[in-house]
Amino acid sequence: MMKHLAVIGAVFAIQLTAWAQTPQPAPQAPAASLNAASTAEANKAIAIAFYNAALNEKDWEKASKYIGSRYVQHNQAAVDGLEGIKAHIENLKKNFPLNHGEIKRTIADGDLVALHIHVKRSPDVLGFAVVDIFRIENGKVVEHWDVVQRIPEPKDVKNANTMF
Amino acid sequence: MMKHLAVIGAVFAIQLTAWAQTPQPAPQAPAASLNAASTAEANKAIAIAFYNAALNEKDWEKASKYIGSRYVQHNQAAVDGLEGIKAHIENLKKNFPLNHGEIKRTIADGDLVALHIHVKRSPDVLGFAVVDIFRIENGKVVEHWDVVQRIPEPKDVKNANTMF
C-alpha cells in the first residue's frame, strides 16, 4: 500500500514537473511592442496634461514641470527653448485670458504624440485648427512642432463635415 | 523507507500542484493592445501608400484602390467624398505637376494615422507644413482631416529649428 502511494506520488510529481517545464504559448508580439504601446499611452497622458497646463490653464509653474532639460521649438514664431514657450504662455495669459484649446483627438506612437485641437482665442471666434506634435523623452516634453490653420468662414466651405 | 518516499512524493506533488495553480505574471498589456499595435503599423503603411499614390504620383486609379466605400472629407476647400479627392488629384496633375509632399514623420494609433509633411507645389518654393490625418477602416482610407500652414519667410523666423 505504502509502496503504491510512493509510486503514485512520484509519478504525479514527475508529470507536474514535465507540465511546468512545457514552454507556455509565446506572446502574440515581442515585449518591445508591448512596452511601446504602454509608453505611447503614458506619453499621451503627459502631452494632454502639459497642453492643458500650458495653453488652457496658462500656468507656467505647472506646465514647466512637464518640460525636460531642453525644449526644441519648431513653431517659427517662438524663440527656441523654455524661454519661448514661457513667453507664449505669458502672452496668452495677458492678452487672451479666455484662450482655450479643445483637444479633438490624440494620436500617440512611440515617443511622439499628436493632438488635433480646436483653438479659440476667445469664445466668439471661429478660431484655428491646430495639430501640435510633442516628443516625450523619459516622461518629459522635449520637442514641439505645430501646424496652424485659420478655420474658414462658412461662406467659403465646400462640405458640412467641419475641420474636425 | 517506503513510507518516507511516499510522504516526500506526496508533498512534492502538492507543492507542484500549488505552484501550477499560482497565477502566473499577467502579460504587460492585454491582447487587444498587441492587436492594436499591429493594426496601427499596417494602417501606417496604407496611409503612406495612399498619400504617395494620390498626392505625389497623382494617380487617381492607383489611389482609389486604397479608399473605402466612403471618404469623409474635412478639408473645407474640398467637396465631400470621392469626388472631392479625385478633383484635387486632377487639379494637382494639371496645374502643379511637380507638386511633392515629403513625409517627415508618421504617427499611427489605432485607426488613425497622422503624416507630418513638407508640401511644395514646385521645387523652388518654401511650401507648406501639413499634417494629414487619415482614418483607416478594414484596410481602407475612409476619413481625412488636414491642417495646412504656409512656411514663413526666413526674415520672419525666430528659431533655426525649421518647421520640421
Kindly indicate the confidence band of residue A6, based on its pLDDT and cuts at 50, 70 and 90.
Answer: low
Q: Which amino acid is at B140?
A: K
Identify all chain A residues contacting B151, using CB atoms and an 8 Å cutoff: 76
Identify all chain B residues contacting A114, using CB atoms and an 8 Å cutoff: 107, 114, 116, 131, 133
pLDDT single digits (tens) B35-67? 888 899 999 999 999 999 999 999 999 999 999
Statement: residue A7 has pLDDT above 80: no
What residue spans of chain A are helical by DSSP H?
Answer: 2-21, 31-51, 60-64, 81-95
pLDDT single digits (tens) B115-160? 999 999 999 999 999 999 999 999 999 999 999 999 999 999 999 9
Higher pLDDT, B36 or B80: B80
Pairing of strands A112-120, A128-137: antiparallel
Q: How many CB atoms lie within 10 A of CB A102?
A: 12
Residue whose C-alpha is closest to residue A9's, from B2, B54, B80, B75 = B2
Kindly indicate the confidence band of residue B4, based on its pLDDT and cuts at 50, 70 and 90.
Answer: low
Distance from CA of B85 to the nearest CA of A (A): 12
Kindly indicate the confidence band of residue A36, based on its pLDDT and cuts at 50, 70 and 90.
Answer: confident
Residue whose C-alpha is closest to residue A144's, from B43, B60, B162 = B162
Statement: residue A24 has pLDDT above 70: no
Statement: residue A2 has pLDDT above 60: no
pLDDT single digits (tens) A142-159? 999 999 999 999 999 999
Statement: residue A37 has pLDDT above 50: yes
Distance from CA of B45 to the nearest CA of A (A): 14
Q: pLDDT at position B16, please? A: 43
Question: Please, what is the average pLDDT of chain B?
Answer: 88
pLDDT single digits (tens) A91-115? 999 999 999 999 999 999 999 999 9
Q: pLDDT at position A159, please? A: 98
* Residue of chain B nearest A157, judged by CA positions: B76
Distance CA B159, CA B164 (A): 12
pLDDT single digits (tens) A42-80? 999 999 999 999 999 999 999 999 999 999 999 999 999
Q: What is the mean pLDDT of residues A19-26?
A: 46
Distance CA A88, CA A58 (A): 9
For residues B92 and B69, is the Cβ–Cβ distance under 8 A? no
Identify all chain B residues contacting A152, using CB atoms and an 8 Å cutoff: 76-77
pLDDT single digits (tens) B82-104? 999 999 999 999 999 999 999 99
ipTM above 0.90, yes or no: no
For residues B132 and B115, is the Cβ–Cβ distance under 8 A? yes
Q: pLDDT at position B25, please? A: 46
Statement: residue B15 has pLDDT above 80: no
- Residue of A44, A70, A131 to mutate, testing the B interface (most B Cβ within 10 Å of its Cβ): A131
Q: What SS3 string covers A104-146?
A: EEEEEECCEEEEEEEEECCCCCCCEEEEEEEEEECCEEEEEEE
